[in-house]
Amino acid sequence: MSISYDDRVAVVTGAGSGLGRSHAKVLASKGVKVVVNDLGGNVAGEGGSSRAADDVVEEIIQAGGEAVANYDSVASQEGGQNIIQTAVDNFGSVDILINNAGNVRDKSFAKMDLDNFTALMDVHLMGAVYCTKAAWPLMLEKQFGRVVMTSSSAGLFGSHGHTNYASAKLSLVGFMHALIQEGSRKNVLVNSIAPMALTRMTEEVMSPKLAPMMQPEFVSAMVAFLCADECDLSGQIVECGMGYFSKVQIVEGAGVFLGNGDVPSPEDVQANWDAISDMSEAKPYRHAGQVSRAVFHKMKAEGLLPQ
Ligand code: NAI
């Protein structure tokens, strides 16, 4: 078992603090050349300073690694292109993209200004889309790419006061699921993490008692693994932090046909809810086509396919 990065170039967005800083430093310590992107704003994504990215670049260089800074916001197509172009201009290419930049603007949905909803979609979802769009053709052409989306348990499972954040975070999983269909055959692999770490974003909700084990480095081990030359995983979602690692998966139950070929009634649905929601034989699917095929097979087996 070994982990290697053969002359690889990584872009880590939002790498001026917290998790991104840790991912950038861990990758650089393994010999990966890193673009440290960060606009240097506050936790809501407002304001900006080149200091955040510059400081991390300085730390990497001091430790003997190679890194350059980029200060663009991920939340525009031009920003995404500039970020990837920084990798190309300085290191000749891009092999690894960690879509990590993020902000929070928490409020109950009743009180949320919709500008704060779209602002989060712009950074978390569209930021990842813009950066991936710019890196994707380069990765397909060289037949090597490792992309990591930063999702969240708030999106996977829900969280009060986070409708904007949860929507953006789960949409990244949908983006990943569709992308893996287009990248896998060219060794361009896409995975997602749902991290748990004590950073400026979470310091108000995390217990300080857990601080020693909540360091971002506990998460970066998974990110670095997912980006290694040897890693052939794609489409994984992994909850990680504090030394805890667990795969998360979307599964579908065995299901049931109602109405015997006729249109089922709402009363049929009510009467059969236990069977509809039975997850005892639940399984995952690799893509949407597999779900349709499984349903057709079941129809055939039950003699329900129209002749
Ligand atoms: P952080 O606030 O320390 O880091 C986020 C970084 O992204 C900041 O340096 C910020 O300046 C940068 N950023 C924000 N908007 C940007 C933009 N438009 N363009 C470029 N950079 C931008 O927070 P943390 O915790 O390190 O968060 C990193 C990622 O992990 C985020 O996507 C966050 O949503 C996600 N996450 C974190 C969790 C945690 O437990 N810390 C839990 C689940 C997800």
Residue showing tokens 């979609």: 121
Per CATH, domain 9-248 is 3.30.450.20: no
Confidence of residue 227 (pLDDT cuts 50, 70, 90): very high
**pLDDT at position 224 over 90:** yes
The response to whether residue 16 sits with its C-beta less than 6 Å from ligand 1 reads: yes
Task: Using the mean position of ligand 1's atoms as its centre, give its distance from the Cα of residue 183 in Å.
Answer: 26
pLDDT number for residue 207: 82
The response to whether residue 234 sits with its C-beta less than 6 Å from ligand 1 reads: no
Task: Using the mean position of ligand 1's atoms as its centre, give its distance from the Cα of residue 61 in Å.
Answer: 22
Going by C-alpha positions, the residue among 275, 267, 216 that lies closest to residue 241 is 216
Confidence of residue 203 (pLDDT cuts 50, 70, 90): confident
- In this prediction, residues 250-279 reach a mean pLDDT of 97
CA-214 nearest atom, ligand 1 = 40
| Pairing mode of beta strands 188-195, 145-150 | parallel
What are 234-264's pLDDT values in tens digits? 999 999 999 999 999 999 999 999 999 899 9
- The domain ranges of the chain are 9-248, 251-301
Phi, psi torsion values for 10, nearest 5 degrees: -120, 145
**Which DSSP helix (H) or strand (E) runs through 247?**
strand 244-248
**pLDDT at position 126 over 90:** yes
For residue 165, indicate whether it is catalytic: yes
Task: Using the mean position of ligand 1's atoms as its centre, give its distance from the Cα of residue 17 in Å.
Answer: 8
Task: Pick the residue whose CA is nearest to atom 11 on ligand 1.
Answer: 40
**pLDDT at position 107 over 80:** yes
Residue showing tokens 């070994």: 2
Mean pLDDT of the chain: 96
d(CA 267, CA 273): 10
Lowest mean pLDDT among 12-26, 40-54, 148-162: 40-54
Model-level pTM greater than 0.95?
A: yes
The response to whether residue 101 sits with its C-beta less than 6 Å from ligand 1 reads: yes
Confidence of residue 198 (pLDDT cuts 50, 70, 90): very high
Interaxial angle between packed helices 127-142 and 163-183, expressed in degrees from 0 to 180 and rounded to the nearest 10: 10
CA-127 nearest atom, ligand 1 = 18
- In this prediction, residues 188-194 reach a mean pLDDT of 98
What are 55-75's pLDDT values in tens digits? 999 999 999 999 999 999 999
Q: 71, 165, 244, 285: which one is catalytic?
A: 165
CATH class, domain 251-301, is mainly alpha
- In this prediction, residues 31-36 reach a mean pLDDT of 98
d(CA 173, CA 151): 7
Task: Pick the residue whose CA is nearest to atom 34 on ligand 1.
Answer: 102
pLDDT number for residue 206: 82
